[in-house]
Structure 1
Amino acid sequence: MSTDDYTFLIDGVILNKTELLGEAGQTSILDLIPTLLHQFGVKETLALLRGPFSGAILDRRARVLYSFGNQTGESAAFAHRDATGPTLSNSFDIMMRMLREAGAPITFDEHAASVMLSYGFMIDDHTFAQEITRIAPGCVISIDLEGGALNTEVYWSLKNDVACSVSTIVEAVSELDRLFRRAVKRCFDKDIEYGYGRHLVDLSGGMDARMVNIVARDLGYSSITNVTYSESRTTENRYAMRLAKQLGNDCLYHPMDGGRSALAPEQNLRLNSGMAFYSGITGGAFVLKSLNFTEFGLEHTGQIGDAVIGTFLSSPERRPPAPGTGAFSKVNTYPRNLHDAVDEELFIMSTRVFRGAMSSHLLRQHFTFAVSPYSDVDLLDFMFSLPLEWRIGHKIFALWIKSCYPGALAVPTTRLLPFRVNPVRHVQLFARKATGVLSRRAQNWLGQRNIPGSVAISRLGNSMNPLESWYAVNPKFRELVLDSSQKAREIPANDALQESLRKSFGKSSSIWDKVLGVTAVAMYEMYFAAFERQASA
């Protein structure tokens, strides 16, 4: 869309479009965006938008090009610039193919590979190609088309040092419920606006997606189809199916037995742009490919609920992040943090949450846009203004459920909630989780000694991503790991990266480390080795 002053392209979903139209006195998004740009400028306009979006804006008078993703990482934007000018895309895969066809030089980024082997996701603006950068969540780049200068500016960032608007935890629960209900309504109303009669909503045995479903029902949305995936004959499966039945929802279940969905890393990495390890949403990708999206609009998830209503921290003490904070690897620790972060939780949110967990939405958007009420910026801003003590140990989460939705625990949950909510269930769940940890350690011990036997596989399968179980029972998965370990030796990398690869595939490494190794090798094979083989043919 173009006006005399601006040309703009926005790909995604603006969840608060109706609210903004009313406030601006406009009737169309095509009129709304120019109005906001004239009134507030680019950064302030982007900060007003809610939902998954990315795009570009050309200020025609100033001759400045802007590009951006959304605030919380579920929509990405990538940038490349050389003598011919800038290239922008919301897909790393598409950009790589365009640049290869244009004959542009592309270099394997060893830094990105090292970060993947340690964290399991990118923690900064690097990608697996040195010449391509990801525009960080909440940031916008500006490119001066006359002078060539490129600048990055922050248009939104999560803060935990702002004044709290409530004085008691009871008041906080009331405001949390108000904001969460509004966030759910924003998401579900979008399906109706687009003319879809049914809502597609994730469901698991935990609490995050459960609360999305329960609140949606409480708001009056009735035509809900749940999608759930896990190992069969597990509590994850049983609780999700029971809850869907109790709510009166239709339910589509995809069994993940044996790990066949973990055998195609290239497929998932093309879809998530290599921003996180490939197996984060293996079951979900299989389900999405099988759905007829003429019947459904958005995919509604409970993503990052545990980090927003709760916290990853166990202590209220504010402290800077240590090397390896939030990382998946147990054998590779990247030697330094690459952010100027002074707060551990904000570092985890900007890396493991926005760049890691939300990367599953990057994959989903190749089928439909995914939305989570927990990533609503207004809810985020409020939750992080609260005293940390209220979020630690799911304290406010439990009080919210008890006060507002006491029936939410009629079906048991796999979430370990505070003891006072359900003492008997808490002890049972703690015992099961402890048994599962011991079983996984035993399985890892066998795997390190090349003994692929099964140790309490039923215990291992309770995870939504039971890699240990799959590695134990699926020889093709073990072959994939072995093949990747051999290809890793052929990557022309510096000594430090080669050592990290050896650790990832070493006998003492867990299956999670091996999956990080498979991810890094697959990215090199897809985008660099394959091109080099083709060029030399």
Structure 2
Amino acid sequence: MPGFVTIVSNSINFNKINLNYRSLKEFKLDEITINKTYIARYTNKKFLDDKMFEETNDFFIVIEGVIFNKKDLMNSFASSSYLDLIHKLYDNYGETFFKYFKGEFSGMLYDKINGKYIIFTNETGSKPIFYYNFNSTYIFSSELKVITDILKFNNIDFNLDEIGAYFLLTYGYMLEDYTLIRQVKKLQAGNYIVLDKDKMKIHSYNTIKNQPYNSESYEKTIGKLDELFKYAVKTQYEKDDEYQYKHISSLSGGLDSRMEVMIAHELGYSNCLNLTFGQNGCLDEIVAKAISSDINNEFVFYSLDNGNYLMDIDEMLICNDGLILYSGAAHVLSALKNINFEDYGIYHTGQVGDAVLGSFINNVNINNKSKIGDGAYSYRLLDRISDVVYNIQYKYNDEEIFKFYNRAFNGAINGDWVANQFTEFSSPFLYKDFFDYALKIPREYKYEERIYIDWINKLHPNIGNYKWEKIGIRPTNSLIKVKLYNKIIRRIFFKNRIESMNPFDYWYNNNHNLKKFLYSYINKNMYLLDSYNQLKKDCISLCDYGTFFEKTQVMTLLGALRLHFN
């Protein structure tokens, strides 16, 4: 993940830091040493005027990402420059100056006057921060691998966190602040770190809430959703225009991506490339091609036939540090490597739209606790970590909030971390104003995505004219229609058609080279678990008796061990 690293230490050798291990893309690299502090950034060369690597007499500031409301803030604070804006925000609001940003960002401010460091990420944690704290050495980095490399180069011991390993083998991603390294944690969404006179403390500046406060009618709620969504799309597309970039968006047969693409079209944004990937002939290809053709967008389909892209595991793990199931976003990497991003701006997606509008809730009751295993890819080894998971879930009053902080902010972000190797990313569903409003809509409105479907059919019927890949027919709240199609028509007339974007089991059973690679990779790297007897036995069992996905969970763990320990 492109970003930055800050090291505060009297013992670390700053000359033994390697930030050039990537092969995916050339990054912009800047470095500076101030007293006992080393600061570097390694960022993609896009939207550089939104990023910052600057020193003044009072502080040093590094900002990574895009700030969608930067111009508005500069106008509000009568700022002569971006740096002047930071000065005024910090003077007025102190440690939480950054909470007025809206965008995909992270950063660090070193207050030279007071000897204080402030390290922050946005309210969804989309730009990750990992941190190491031991014996008066502090390392903060956008990538876990940067930290493990620094520790290795300086002969500092670190170990596998077996709880993190079991999270990967069950959920397919980390929970809360866990990583695969016992000595390194991840800063959670909406939090920031203050390091002041050798004392480090974590604070919260934003907590997502879903207690319904909305007393508006159903129709007015739909109208407000539409208003906020259009504003989010407009704000994110205007960032492209600000830099004179063309637009690029993912598009599939789902609702989320088509909402983002087609609302952008309604708002007048043209010169847009729609990118779709999947098995040839899948419903995602058919629907996306029809939408792009009807609104006159450019269209590129990248075929994933045979699943050979799944053999590029090590390249994929560089993108997500081995903290998320590699097969969940390897197709995104395979496709984006074929795009020349020189003329394109933000990679626009419909990330977690369904979750924001209801798919994370199982009933209409508020304070409905999450169950152990909710959101997991595999249940076979849950008993190994059930006590840990229970204690984590106990902190959350509601399943929806638990799933956002963990499944969404630690798992679904996988594809965005891939895109960030090439450019910046965004989803209007996660734009703060829309997200905060949508979460507080009454649950009975959101249950089974009722309001989402009605929003489309009432205000944007043209968007509902295409099949929804999830149910095989046009978006509808009629359970009778859905059951009729899936139980009768789909089974009889389309039983031999491969409708999935990623038919993993089909590829595994029909692509001999892929199957051979999987077993070879697992067998060649299983020795990395020799020091963890039970964990090794469990991984072997998953490989022998598990599904294709469970095999790739083991592969992700083994690949992560190669990445961080070899």
Question: What is the TM-score normalised by the length of structure 1?
Answer: 0.88
Which letter maps to 2:276?
A: T
Mapped to 2, the partners of 1:250 and 1:74 lie a distance apart of: 28
> Do the aligned partners of 1:398 and 1:421 also contact (CA within 8 Å) in 2?
no
1:14 corresponds, among 67, 73, 77, to 67
Mapped to 1, the partners of 2:80 and 2:293 lie a distance apart of: 40
Q: What is the CA distance between 1:497 and its match in structure 2? A: 2.2
Q: What is the CA distance between 1:125 and its match in structure 2? A: 1.4
Stretch of structure 1 that moved more, 170-179 or 19-28: 19-28
> Do the aligned partners of 2:170 and 2:381 also contact (CA within 8 Å) in 1?
yes
- Residue matched to 2:485: 428
CA RMSD of aligned residues (A): 2.3
Stretch of structure 1 that moved more, 493-502 or 104-113: 493-502
Stretch of structure 1 that moved more, 297-306 or 330-339: 330-339
Q: Report the CA distance shift for 1:457/1:119 in structure 2 as closer, same or farther (over 3 A).
A: farther
Secondary structure, counterpart of 2:125 in structure 1 = coil
Q: Report the CA distance shift for 1:66/1:431 in structure 2 as closer, same or farther (over 3 A).
A: farther
Mapped to 2, the partners of 1:359 and 1:392 lie a distance apart of: 26
Q: What is the CA distance between 1:329 and its match in structure 2? A: 0.7
Stretch of structure 1 that moved more, 109-118 or 418-427: 418-427
Stretch of structure 1 that moved more, 79-88 or 4-13: 79-88
Aligned pairs for 1:228-267 (under 5 A) are 228-267=276-315
Secondary structure, counterpart of 2:462 in structure 1 = helix
Unaligned runs of 5+ in 2: 1-53
- Residue matched to 2:192: 140
Q: What is the CA distance between 1:184 and its match in structure 2? A: 0.5
2:154 is equivalent to residue 99 of structure 1 = no
1:87 corresponds, among 139, 146, 152, to 139
Q: What is the CA distance between 1:115 and its match in structure 2? A: 0.8
Q: What is the CA distance between 1:108 and its match in structure 2? A: 1.9
Aligned pairs for 1:300-379 (under 5 A) are 300-317=348-365, 318-333=367-382, 334-336=385-387, 337=389, 338-339=391-392, 340-379=395-434
- Residue matched to 1:443: none
Mapped to 2, the partners of 1:418 and 1:491 lie a distance apart of: 47
Which letter maps to 1:49?
A: F
2:151 is equivalent to residue 151 of structure 1 = no
- Residue matched to 1:160: 210
- Residue matched to 1:216: 264
Unaligned runs of 5+ in 1: 440-455, 532-537
- Residue matched to 2:95: 42
C-alpha deviations, 1:65-123, integer Å up to 9, x for none?
12122221321111123346222221222332233222222222222111100100011
Question: What is the TM-score normalised by the length of structure 2?
Answer: 0.84
Q: Once superposed, which parts of structure 1, at least 4 consecutive aligned residues long, lie more than 6 Å away?
A: 432-436
C-alpha deviations, 1:112-165, integer Å up to 9, x for none?
111100100011212222222211121111112x2x22111111121112622x
Stretch of structure 1 that moved more, 25-34 or 485-494: 485-494
Mapped to 2, the partners of 1:239 and 1:391 lie a distance apart of: 25
Secondary structure, counterpart of 1:178 in structure 2 = helix
Secondary structure, counterpart of 1:458 in structure 2 = coil
Mapped to 1, the partners of 2:487 and 2:260 lie a distance apart of: 25
- Residue matched to 2:49: none
Q: Report the CA distance shift for 1:267/1:404 in structure 2 as closer, same or farther (over 3 A).
A: same
Mapped to 2, the partners of 1:128 and 1:307 lie a distance apart of: 26
Q: Report the CA distance shift for 1:388/1:366 in structure 2 as closer, same or farther (over 3 A).
A: same
Q: Report the CA distance shift for 1:335/1:498 in structure 2 as closer, same or farther (over 3 A).
A: farther
> Do the aligned partners of 2:122 and 2:190 also contact (CA within 8 Å) in 1?
yes
Which letter maps to 2:90?
A: L
Which letter maps to 1:327?
A: A
1:73 corresponds, among 109, 120, 125, to 125
1:472 corresponds, among 505, 509, 525, to 509
- Residue matched to 1:277: 325
> Do the aligned partners of 1:205 and 1:414 also contact (CA within 8 Å) in 2?
yes
- Residue matched to 1:171: 220
Which letter maps to 1:36?
A: L
- Residue matched to 1:32: 85
> Do the aligned partners of 2:320 and 2:417 also contact (CA within 8 Å) in 1?
yes
2:465 is equivalent to residue 410 of structure 1 = yes
2:558 is equivalent to residue 521 of structure 1 = yes
The number of aligned residues is 503
Which letter maps to 2:188?
A: A
Q: Report the CA distance shift for 1:420/1:303 in structure 2 as closer, same or farther (over 3 A).
A: closer
Which letter maps to 1:479?
A: K
Structure with more strand by fraction = 2
Secondary structure, counterpart of 2:195 in structure 1 = strand
Q: Report the CA distance shift for 1:435/1:11 in structure 2 as closer, same or farther (over 3 A).
A: farther
Q: What is the CA distance between 1:322 and its match in structure 2? A: 2.1
Aligned pairs for 1:491-530 (under 5 A) are 491-507=529-545, 509-528=546-565
Secondary structure, counterpart of 1:506 in structure 2 = helix
Secondary structure, counterpart of 1:406 in structure 2 = coil
Q: What is the CA distance between 1:29 and its match in structure 2? A: 2.1
- Residue matched to 2:497: 458
